[in-house]
Amino acid sequence: MINKLYNTSLGLLTDLYQLTMAYGYWKSGKAEQEAVFNLYFRRHPFEGGFTVTCGLSSIIDYLQAYHFDEDDLLYVGSLTGSDGQKLFEPGFLDYLWTMKFECSIDAIPEGTVVFPNEPLLRIQGPILQCQLLETPLLNLLNFQSLIATKAARMRLIAKDDILLEFGLRRAQGPDGGMTASRAAYVGGFDATSNVLAGKLFDIPVKGTHAHSWVMSFDSELESFETYARFMPNNVTLLVDTYNSIEGVKNAIKVGYQLRENGHDLAAIRLDSGDLAYLSIEARKILDEAGFEKTSIVASNDLDEYIMDSLKIQGAKINIWGIGTKLVTAFDQPALGGVFKLAAIRNEDGEWDYKLKLSEQAIKVSTPGVQQVRRFKDATGYISDMIFNIETPLIGKSTMIDPYDFTRNRSFPEATHFEDLLVPVFAKGQLVYTLPSIHETKERVQQQLSHFHKGIKRFVNPHTYPVGLEKELFDMKTELIVKLRARSENEGQ
């Protein structure tokens, strides 16, 4: 089933309503009408103050191979409505068969620290094609950004300690495991136990043995000696199968044997019990025996909060094995990204700007062909401003908080800035050179270093200033008033 699922076209990796809307566009003659959609999220995950965008590499791979094959269209053609009749006529299937990807996509590079309401992707092209991409783009970006953010939070706590991702056995299926391994590395982890991820993504792989190895021998010491004899250059011994302190002592005995043969005891691993107390005691025993350089690995359902608590307690852990609570994003399993129409080209060749209204202010979308400008000074990044690229920015820029109209900020023309969205596809052609996964991982840490530490704290983090450029804010306000009035008139 796994091979059947992934050894095929992924054109149908979408929701049915995308296909029904595409059919509607085709039938009404709107299929080729140019449109702009923005992909963004509304709230940071984990009640944090920042998010790391991740998944662009997967999006590029997906779009470069985007098509509907014969089996896809045979299946789509077999679908029926509530009356038992075919949903789609043959002409529409022919259209999909010959369709070539023609959209332009601008994206914020992977590994960038981003904030709510900022477009992570801007998709421009035939409205039918843009619409079909909504579900797969959200699928590919939401989860990876979630895991990369979780990993970055753990890196903030770990500082210079080694972080190992051990989550494959607890991940949501093979794809969840592979995706999480990649995103965790981007977010700041050093290695993974996932061998396939190591092969496909060029991630270092690390691992040792399980409790079953120890239990398969007559004694713990015999299991340690056998493992060290056959793999002397990879000796991390799991010491808590029976008694953690005695396990440390047995590991030391094996350490002496390793040294006699020109090797050393790399680490011991604690997977249960009071990790603070046991790591402190283990460190004492190891140091007294002359194994000051032997590391202590800790695992057992760890997350950033437990890591922080252990460090406060003085735990002597310098390698952290993180699994379930990382790869499942245990405390928040979804990012909640959305994909909204922001503009559509009219018959005169001009943009008609669009927004979605809601009684909830946070759910009112923003119109425009959007770009994000990040301002900086000598201290680092200071504010992000979303603007409409169809409105040239000349001279001083003024930014308004869309949720508090009294808050605004102006930036002189000389203020340093960078525009975050960069061209990735131009009318279907890839124009972007994707950095290596190692460069992307380094970008995360560089990005975080330029932000005030207040956004990086876990409790009541500082809200980084993000707003709308004044003309975009005014356009959005005018459009809201217009749409509300029209809705009220239609209701009379």
Residue range 422-431, pLDDT digits in tens: 999 999 999 9
Q: Is the domain of 88 the same as that of 233? A: no
Judgement on whether residues 171 and 303 belong to the same structural domain of the protein = yes
pLDDT recorded at residue 3 = 62
CA separation for the pair 317, 315 (Å, rounded): 6
Q: Based on the fold, state whether residues 388 and 458 are members of the same structural domain.
A: yes
Residue 294 confidence (pLDDT)? 98
The answer to whether the CB of 340 falls within 8 A of the CB of 38 is yes
Amino acid in position 453: K
In 229-361, DSSP assigns E strands to 236-238, 267-270, 295-298, 319-322, 337-345, 351-353
- Domain containing 160 — which CATH number? 3.20.20.70
Domain that holds residue 389: 25-60+104-146+341-491
333 in any annotated domain: no
Q: Please identify, among 301, 327, 353, the residue that sits at the C-terminal boundary of a domain.
A: 327
Query: Looking at the predicted structure, is the pLDDT value of residue 95 above 80?
Result: yes
- 18 and 33 in a single domain? The answer is no
Q: Is residue 259 part of a domain?
A: yes
pLDDT over 70 at 383, yes or no? yes
* Within a domain: 192: yes
Domain termination site, one of 272, 294, 327: 327
Q: How confident is the model at residue 404, as a pLDDT?
A: 82
What is the count of structural domains for the chain? 3
Residue 458 lies in a domain: yes
314 and 401 in a single domain? The answer is: no
In a domain, 334, yes or no: no
At residue 399 the predicted structure's pLDDT band, cuts being 50, 70 and 90, is very high
> Among the listed ranges 18-27, 110-119, 392-401, 452-461, which one has the minimum average pLDDT value?
392-401
Considering the domain boundaries, does residue 425 fall inside one?
yes
Angle, vertex CA 202, rays to CA 265 and CA 187, nearest 5: 85
Residue linked to tokens 């107390």? 277
Kindly indicate the confidence band of residue 97, based on its pLDDT and cuts at 50, 70 and 90.
Answer: very high
pLDDT score for 123: 98
The backbone torsions φ and ψ at residue 102, rounded to the nearest 5 degrees and listed phi first, read: -130, 10
485-490: average pLDDT: 76
Residue 336 resides in a domain: no
What is the sign of the dihedral through the CA atoms of 173, 179, 180 and 182? positive
Residues 12 and 56 in one domain: no
Does the pLDDT at position 4 exceed 70?
no
* Cα-only R_g, the chain: 27
What is the CB neighbour count within 10 angstroms for residue 461? 18
Q: What is Dmax (Cα atoms) for the chain?
A: 91
Q: What is the CATH number of the domain that holds 457?
A: 3.20.140.10
313/194 same-domain check: yes
Residue 445 belongs to a domain:
yes
Instruction: Check whether residue 297 and residue 367 sit in a common domain.
Output: no
Q: Give percent helix, percent strand, percent coil of the chain, each to the nearest 5.
A: 40, 20, 40
pLDDT for 83 = 95
- How far apart CA 483 and CA 473 sit, in angstroms, is 15
pLDDT of 337 > 70? The answer is yes
Q: How many angstroms separate the CA atoms of 182 and 180, rounded? A: 5
Residues 188, 151 contacting (CB under 8 angstroms): yes
Mean pLDDT of the chain: 95
User: Do 111 and 16 share a structural domain?
Assistant: no
pLDDT of residue 194 exceeding 60, the answer is yes
Percentage above 70 pLDDT, the chain: 99
Asked whether the predicted pLDDT for residue 293 surpasses 60, the reply is yes
Q: Taking the model in full, what pTM does it have?
A: 0.96
Q: Where are the beta strands (DSSP E) in 324-482?
A: 337-345, 351-353, 370-377, 380-388, 397-400, 408-411, 416-419, 422-426, 429-430, 466-469
pLDDT of residue 491: 63
The pLDDT assigned to 394 comes to 85
135 and 226 fall within a common domain: no
Residues 251 and 361 in one domain: no
Bridge partners (DSSP) listed for residue 128: none
Residues 154 and 288 occupy one common structural domain: yes
Per the structure block, which two tokens stand in for 479?
């459009």
DSSP H helical ranges for 41-110? 56-64, 70-78, 90-98
